[in-house]
Structure 1
Amino acid sequence: MTPKHIPECLINTNGINVNFDSFGNEDAPVIILIMGLATQMIFWETKFCELLASKGFRVIRFDNRDVGKSTWCDDLNVPSHLALLANILLKRTLKAPYSLNDMAKDTLGLMDGLQIDQAHVVGASMGGMIAQALAIRSPERVKSLTSIMSTTGNRQLPKPKITFLSNLFKRPPKQADQFVAFGLSLWKALHGNTYGFQKEKVSELLRLSVHRGLNPKSNVRQLAAILSSKDRTEALKAVKIPSLILHGDSDPLIPVACGHATAQAIPHSKIKVYSGMGHTLPDELLPEIANDILELIGGTS
């Protein structure tokens, strides 16, 4: 039986509107999915949400601030590419328009607005960083933590090649066909060569992203939020929440060493490394990833 789907709607929280939808019964235990840099909630694919919800959970996905149908922060400054590079290469202070902690507060606000006391929190890439920040600042609200292809924020950890990182600085084209071509190139590079790249599916998601609302400045503002955040390693050592770290050994953006560092920082956390996985969630691995998350959740009280 297909889980119940509650269509997209807005909720006002933390001074912004957050757009979300959900799968499963509204009185079931909650799993909240937090997406990554400048990426809309639809990249948590429906079949993945339904797979989790079919096991007796209410699965909520949402657009982060500045993305999709949630509030765009166009009244805030956009850091220059020079400022971003100076931060990366020279460790110069970067003034970000908002922080990962602000985005964690957005998630808490969504929970408050929906009267959710606790949730199992799953974050991918930047979403994993937000999930970590949430577990650090409000551990009583997080039932379990799953951090996927993410990092602690330790600047000493391995980094992507600067040529690859520079792609994240590029402002996406506004014209739909050009945006899809741009997005396909980036997603294919992130995906790697081990698993089949689903060109038609990704193209459809990118076109839907244009239709839902494409904010070309969000990638720079959100990248600034990542770069300006402090190293979470010491704070993560105090996290007592059941935690799972998932990472691919072929991740070109956030190397797998960052996943191991996250697991080492969080006491008693578990880590699983998927052979050949890059910085996406391949179709072939979705059932296994869902089962690994569900296994963690099943072990919580």
Structure 2
Amino acid sequence: LRLRLFGIPVAAPYRLIDMAKDTVGLMDGLGLKSAHLVGASMGGMIAQEVAISFPQVVRSLTSIMSTTGNPKIPPPTREAGAILMAPPPRTKDEYIERFAKTWKVLRVGSFPEDEALDRSRALRTYERGLNPAGVGRQLRAILASGSRKQRLGAVKAPALVIHGTVDPLVHPAGGKDTAASIPGAKLLMIEGMGHALPIPMWPEIIDAIAEHAHGAAAKAA
């Protein structure tokens, strides 16, 4: 991250384009010629890359709490940035405690329904398996992939961009930049949403994605 801030190229064993190729490969394996792609955060960046590099497989694109890679977008807040740089927890109890604190920061505010599920979500994640080095490689992949801002101008798929107005990790300007970079993209800014998908906001988000996908399908018919 510091290298990127000083304009020094970041090396990475794989980049977002490799993950986009994996996505298309998975679709091929599932026998899907095309799909409505929805990606959040890093997933939004990968979905953008698929829409740029493999337009034939994308019926519609929904990019959530993501960004273009434009280095002019403001950085995470100090508190959110500290989450990215924190050393990995050493025990299960420490992981569960860190999980709750992390999502408290990312959700921004009080969401009792989600907070009540933090412990069970943390346990499932811990038991499934952790790979701290993999998380580091993902961050390097994002930084090494550079900006998609110019290339997003070639995206032909109908695009919807969803972003929270108080996102502490990916600045709201990242969502606005994404929508401004894709011709005809729709932008939905959700008041009070941070870098998370809190349960009370699910209906609005789900309805927006469903309407967008149905609209894209109707235009293609």
TM-score computed with the length of structure 1 as normaliser: 0.70
Structure-2 change in CA distance of 1:194 and 1:271 (3 Å): farther
SS at match of 2:150: helix
CA distance in 1, matches of 2:152, 2:75: 20
1:145–1:244 CA contact under 8 A, matched in 2: yes
Name the residue aligned to 1:9: none
Aligned ranges for residues 43-192 of structure 1 at < 5 Å? Answer: 84-87=1-4, 89-192=5-108
User: What do residues 221-261 of structure 1 show as CA deviations (whole Å, max 9, x unaligned)?
Assistant: 10000111121111100101011000000101111111111
User: What do residues 197-229 of structure 1 show as CA deviations (whole Å, max 9, x unaligned)?
Assistant: 622312211110111111121221100001111
Structure 1 window deviating more from structure 2 (155-164 vs 251-260): it is 155-164
Name the residue aligned to 1:276: 192
Structure-2 change in CA distance of 1:163 and 1:274 (3 Å): closer
Q: Percent identity?
A: 45
Counterpart check, 1:224 vs 2:140: yes
Higher relative contact order (CA 8 A, sep 6+): 2
Report the structure, 1 or 2, having the larger helix content: 2
2:80–2:106 CA contact under 8 A, matched in 1: no
CA distance in 1, matches of 2:35, 2:18: 18
Corresponding letter in the other structure for 2:194: G
CA distance in 1, matches of 2:19, 2:119: 28
1:169–1:220 CA contact under 8 A, matched in 2: no
Corresponding letter in the other structure for 1:146: T
1:244–1:296 CA contact under 8 A, matched in 2: yes
Instruction: In structure 2, list runs of 5 or more residues that go unmatched.
Output: none
Structure-2 change in CA distance of 1:276 and 1:194 (3 Å): farther
CA distance in 2, matches of 1:141, 1:206: 34
CA distance in 1, matches of 2:43, 2:118: 19
Aligned ranges for residues 206-221 of structure 1 at < 5 Å? Answer: 206-221=122-137
Report the structure, 1 or 2, having the larger strand content: 1
Query: For 2:121, which of 205, 211, 225 is the aligned residue?
Result: 205
Instruction: In structure 1, list runs of 5 or more residues that go unmatched.
Output: 1-83
Corresponding letter in the other structure for 1:123: G
Name the residue aligned to 2:181: 265
CA distance in 1, matches of 2:110, 2:156: 35
Counterpart check, 1:287 vs 2:194: no
SS at match of 1:154: coil
CA distance in 2, matches of 1:163, 1:195: 19
2:67–2:178 CA contact under 8 A, matched in 1: yes
Counterpart check, 1:243 vs 2:159: yes
